[in-house]
Each structure stands twice: as structure tokens, then as C-alpha cells.
A = this chain, B = another copy of it.
Amino acid sequence: MKNRDSRLPLYQRLADEIRDQIASGKFKPGDRIPSENEFIAQYGAAAGTVRQALQELVDEKILERVHGRGTFVKKAFDSTLFRFFRFNQNSNAPPESRMLSRELVTPASYVQRQLKLNDGDKVIHLTRLRLIDGQPALFEEINLKHEGFEHLLDYELSSFEDLLYPMYAEVCDQFIFRAEDTLCVEESTPEIRRLLRIDESLPIVAIERLAFNFGSTPVEWRRSRGRADYFKYRVDIR
């Protein structure tokens, strides 16, 4: 174990070690990591101590343990923005996506700050419509770090997957681990009304998302908009 502050408890240092190995890509989502006994042998710690380290990462939703099989790096999390809406869904068809545009651009200063970019860094800017039962439901503007996502520029827009995070993983070896969503209510603009096929001047809900990889580096910033009359969200407070 390299350069760990020995004032920290052993189980903490062990957890940090494993977390860093995941962030560095040594273990990827879906991989099985070493068993308890292997960690015990490798670090000379007691079983209870190793378990405590692993439990910490389970609580952080980085790891999943399966009785009899092993301990795995978590693969995906439920990132759907549709959690914030209830649509009059007739079928149970999954949402579709229609990519509208892709450009390599200089980011707005707000986006630059959110993604912690250096001056001159560019972003891949995507726009897409999300549809439920064929009806436009969300309009999305997506900004990705250029570095790490270059391969997205090679694909035809029409061949983009409906779900982007699995596609980032496949195509770019980039794994989204968590996100911060910020919601507010706005007036609809003529453009939004056209895209979402709204007649009246309904308010809309805007969701800004900053998404992070396992190393806690922000890699994607997006703004999604949907009609406010379909907005419905439940939180548990405790």
C-alpha cells in the first residue's frame, strides 16, 4: 500500500487503495475484484478489517457483493431523467432517442467552469430529442469533454445508442458513476415549443446534470427540458 497516511485506520487505507485502483481503471465496472482471502493474504490484515473496507465501498455504491460469487465493481446506476416525469404512457416501450446535431465547439464559460476545462479546451456538443411512445418528451443539450470522448466523433448520428452512458462505456471506455441534477422551472421558448410540439405557452422544467466518472472528474454537462405539466417527483426525507 503506497503512501497512505498511517494515522488513518487500516480499513480506511485499504478502502482508499481499492477506490483508487478502480478510479485508475485497474478494475472496471463489472469486474470481479480479489476475494476477502486474497486481500487478507496481500495486506496481512484480519478478515474483519478487510470486510470493513469493502463494506465502506458498498455503502458508497462503488462495489456490489454477491454471496458465493465474489465482489464486483458496480456496473450501472439508474440515471434516467424520466424519473422526474410521469408521461401518459400507453405502452411500456422504452424511451427512444433522436440525435439532432453534433459539433466540436468552444464551450460557454459556464460549461467550461462546470467541466473544469482549461482555456482553449473544446467540448463535443450534442442535441437530441427523447421520445415516449413516439411523442417528443425531452429536449437535451449535451456537452462532453473532448478528451476521452473523441471516438464519438467517428459515429454516424443515426447509429447512436438510445442510452448514452452504456455507449460512452463501449465506445470511449468512459464510465459514468454518479451525477448531480439541478431542477428549475422556466418559461417555454418558441424553439422548445416547436421541438416538444407544445401549442400553448406552458412552463417547462429544466434539469441540469453534471456527471462524474469513478475518479470524481466531471465529464458531461447537459441541460434537459420537458413540459412542466408532466413533471412529478418523489423524494424520501429522513
Segment with Cβ contacts to B, from A91-99, A128-136, A175-183: A175-183
The answer to whether B181 touches A203 (Cβ under 8 A) is no
Write the nearest CB–CB distance from A206 to chain B, whole angstroms.
10
The residue that A180 contacts in the complex, of B184, B203, B205, B236, with Cβ under 8 A, is: B236
Q: How far is the CA of A237 from the CA of B222 in the complex (A)?
A: 14
The residue that A238 contacts in the complex, of B178, B183, B233, with Cβ under 8 A, is: B178
Q: Is A231 an interface residue (CB 8 A)?
A: yes
Write the nearest CB–CB distance from A14 to chain B, whole angstroms.
18
Write the nearest CB–CB distance from A230 to chain B, whole angstroms.
9
- Which residue of the partner chain B has the closest CB to A203? B203
With A237-B77, A238-B61 already in contact, the answer to whether A185 and B185 are too (CB < 8 A) is yes
Using a CB-CB cutoff of 8 Å, which residues 175-222 of chain A contact chain B? 177-185, 203, 205
Write 20 A-B pairs (CB below 8 A) sorted by A numbering. Answer: A77-B237, A77-B238, A78-B237, A178-B237, A178-B238, A179-B236, A179-B237, A180-B234, A180-B236, A180-B237, A181-B236, A182-B232, A182-B233, A182-B234, A183-B232, A183-B234, A184-B233, A185-B231, A203-B228, A228-B228
**B-binding residues in A (CB < 8 A):** 48, 59, 61, 77-79, 177-185, 203, 205, 228-229, 231-238
